[in-house]
Amino acid sequence: MNNIQDEFGDHAVELDLLRQRAFNLRWAEQPADVIPLTAADPDFPCAQVIRDAVCDYAKSGVFSYGPAEGLPSFRGAAATMLQQRKGMPTASAEHVLAVNSAAKGMAIVAQSLLAPGDEALVFDPVDFLFARTVQDAGGVPVRVPLDPESGALDFARIESAITRRTKLLTICNPVNPVGRVLTRTELLRLGELAIEHDLAILSDEIWSDIVFAPHRHIATAALSPEIAARTYTVHGLSKTFGLAGLRIGFVHVGNQARYEAMVEQANVRSTVEGVATLSQVAATAAYEHGWPWADAWVAHLHRQRDVAVAELRKVSGLSLREPEGCYVLFPEVKAWGDESVLAQRLLDQHRIAIVPGAPRWFGAGAAGHIRLTFATSESILREGLARLCRGLDALR
């Protein structure tokens, strides 16, 4: 374990490589003197066992087509993970569809369920991909509030938002960017609403391994057979295992008819779509052998969270809720005015990049907040926090 923990020391972050390869608002897209605490993507190299599996597979030089719905090894590893780590004993490899990222999985689910004008319930605030995938499918995202300060769901508002056009309930658990881990009671109420109104459930659980004790993630599809039959569980390997660039994830749905409709929509059997076999090899190694690394990663993140919360709570006028899951913080900064203007001034004057709580990123409910990640080394985090805190003190 000590050797694994050493993989998250200050020396393990290879900034030269990150400045070449880490895009999506991160090191490769920022000036050299800027620290980006932006996109939620680890700064550390992935586990050695994953690298070895990719290299061993590639040495043969044979890169043939894989099965349309995914390699049996990957689908099996994903089903085993759901059974053993997520409490879904009936999860089966035959109901796992390999997809080229959790984002793609969300899009496929929405497209298989929604006709033009159909409505889908979407948390507010939540990652922009939820509303985007609904809109791209021709649907209408209907925002339901989640208090960014307490993380509480307003169930009366949720139920009142359901109409005859509502077809889909979307869940992000843990909730990005708020950092809430939904309780069994909350999930059961959502599931019961879905049953009562005959809604499908899209449960994005890509963050489900990034949970800080004593909190515990509960899979939506583990609640009951009735809820499981209508739940599309979406997973990816970018947050837990640092494989964002490999674009690999999967969707599981226990109902055979729903699964077939999803596969048809995904267009994988025509070979127009599909997932690279090399990415599936990496993901299989992660699920079969990478959990010691992932558990050490979460322990590192827990320490990072505590450092960040302690430092930010020293800033007068800033309000911060300790995240229960995800490796992002979502402080309220209304005392500084417009959050997008603040983010730009922090970048220009203090060389720290964060994400403003703008509607295009998280919905209108994110107004007055900023989001920053702590998925980096302690030294980089402390320097980034020092710049951020100095900037907030200077700009208020």
pLDDT (0 to 100) of residue 396: 84
pLDDT surpasses 90 at 236: yes
In this prediction, residue 382 has a pLDDT band, given cuts at 50, 70 and 90, of: very high
The average confidence (pLDDT) of the chain is 96
Q: For residues 387-393, give the mean pLDDT.
A: 98
Q: Structural domain boundaries of the chain?
A: 2-46+291-395, 58-289
Q: For residues 204-221, give the mean pLDDT.
A: 98
Q: For residues 351-371, give the mean pLDDT.
A: 96
- The pTM of this model reads 0.96
CA dist., res. 252 & res. 83, Å (int): 12
Domain range 58-289, CATH architecture: 3-Layer(aba) Sandwich (3.40)
pLDDT (0 to 100) of residue 1: 45
Q: For residues 294-316, give the mean pLDDT.
A: 98
How confident is the model over 181-192, as pLDDT tens digits?
Answer: 999 999 999 999
pLDDT (0 to 100) of residue 6: 82
How confident is the model over 61-114, as pLDDT tens digits?
Answer: 999 999 999 999 999 999 999 999 999 999 999 999 999 999 999 999 999 999
Q: For residues 298-321, give the mean pLDDT.
A: 97
In this prediction, residue 287 has a pLDDT band, given cuts at 50, 70 and 90, of: very high
- Tell me the three-class secondary structure of the chain, residue by residue: CHHHHHCCCHHHCCHHHHHHHCCCCCHHHCCCCCEECCCCCCCCCCCHHHHHHHHHHHHCCCCCCCCCCCCHHHHHHHHHHHHHHCCCCCCCHHHEEEECCHHHHHHHHHHHHCCCCCEEEEEECCCCHHHHHHHHCCCEEEEEEECCCCCCECHHHHHHCCCCCEEEEEEECCCCCCCCCCCHHHHHHHHHHHHHCCCEEEEECCCCCCECCCCCCCCHHHCCHHHHCCEEEEEECHHHHCCHHHCCEEEEECCHHHHHHHHHHHCCCCCCCCCCHHHHHHHHHHHHHCHHHHHHHHHHHHHHHHHHHHHHCCCCCCECCCCCECCEECCECHHHCCHHHHHHHHHHHHCEECEECCHHHHCHHHCCEEEEECCCCHHHHHHHHHHHHHHHHHHC
In this prediction, residue 150 has a pLDDT band, given cuts at 50, 70 and 90, of: confident
pLDDT (0 to 100) of residue 147: 87
Q: Does the 2-46+291-395 domain belong in CATH 3.90.1150.10? A: yes
